[in-house]
Structure 1
Amino acid sequence: MDFEDQLLVLTLNRGDKAALHRLYEKYKDSLVTLAGALLMDRSGAQDVVHDVFFSFMQQMAHFRLTGSLKGYLSTCVANHARNCNSSWRRRQAGQSDESDRENDGPVRKVLLDERAQQIAEALDKLPDDQREVVALRIYAGQRFPEIARHQGASVNTVEGRFRYAMAKLRKILHNEVF
């Protein structure tokens, strides 16, 4: 456990909002990156992180840090992103997928360089469970046992998902990145 995180959580439990701001500044970049990797609608990554911190702030009276705060927040972001993806899919069921992708394209091109765009598109082609393992492992830096607990799967299953995902990414990207 990170001593600074423990201290900030204790301070936040006592009502110091500056501690929440410090935690947000400390973890926002990695959490936004994680959310962006998991979301099908990448424009919502910052919203996911804001929602997670808002919920985190609301539960502070009952929160006790027992492990890694970064791991906890990463898991919260992954869960919220999963919920957003489910909502997004339901909305898409009533709309044309092609027209939505065209509307999403210019935003992505402005925000991401060409290579990041290709990787994002390749990640979108992965099944949700594999994309989640890749994002938690690479973007959030979680270890396979943490990811296994989060997904409710065995470590071997998670390692297999990661291995299959990386093989698919290699194939999609023609061995250029992975």
Structure 2
Amino acid sequence: MIEDRLLIWRCQQGCRAAFQRIYEKYEGDLRTLAANLLDDKAAAEDVVHDVFISLLQVVDRFELRKSLAGYLKTCVANRSRDYIRARKSRAVLIDDAEQVPSDKSSPVQLVMQEELSQRLGVAMSRLPYEQREAVVLYLHGRMKFKAIAQLQNVSIKTAHTRYRAGLEGLKSLLNSELRK
């Protein structure tokens, strides 16, 4: 957090290297978060790019109140929502291109991992967006329920309920898939 405050201050002084450091520090996690909220890798990259452009445009008057990571994750979630609204499609798959397989994985393990990832992606796309968003923000974004509740403009209990309902929905969908 202190490093982030220093980086923001240096950006405000015109230091391009400081902004580059912020980008390098957070871009990968933000891209993964966006990819898990959207079904389009290019769109996820665009969302993250837009978030950094927006930060660059306001950095001279930006005041970091809490965590920069939390702020950026909230921006990515909001931009992802806007993208989905504009696209008017609710099909969202987990982008398994973001998952790096272990070097020790056998070909059979890789095939099984790919198949599981596809099933999970299909199951995620069938969840209502609010539940999917709560699950992704909690598990991939490592956001607390309080932050998710603020982002979704609901109570903490509702955010937690959406998360639990999302997990139960995934469990049900995946179990029914296995029975086929």
TM-score by shorter chain over 0.5: yes
What is the deviation of 1:45? Answer: 0.9
Identity value in percent = 39
Per-residue CA deviations over 1:83-122 (Å, capped at 9, x if unaligned) read 1111111xx6xxxxxxxx9xxx9xx687773332222222
Counterpart secondary structure, 1:172 = helix
Distance 1:140 1:175 in 2: 28
| Cα-Cα RMSD | 2.4
What is the deviation of 1:13? Answer: 1.1
* Residue 10 of structure 2 is aligned to residue 11 of structure 1: yes
Which residues of structure 2 form unaligned runs of 5+? 100-113
What is the deviation of 1:151? Answer: 1.1
Distance 1:123 1:110 in 2: 16
Distance 2:26 2:12 in 1: 18
Question: AA paired with 1:33?
Answer: T
Distance 2:40 2:70 in 1: 23
Contact 1:136 / 1:142 at 8 angstroms: preserved in 2?
A: yes
Q: TM-score, normalised by structure 1?
A: 0.82
1:64 aligns with: 63
2:35 aligns with: 36
Which residues of structure 1 form unaligned runs of 5+? 93-100
What is the deviation of 1:42? Answer: 3.7
Question: AA paired with 2:118?
Answer: Q
Q: TM-score, normalised by structure 2?
A: 0.81
* Residue 164 of structure 2 is aligned to residue 166 of structure 1: no
In the alignment of these two chains, the number of paired residues is: 161
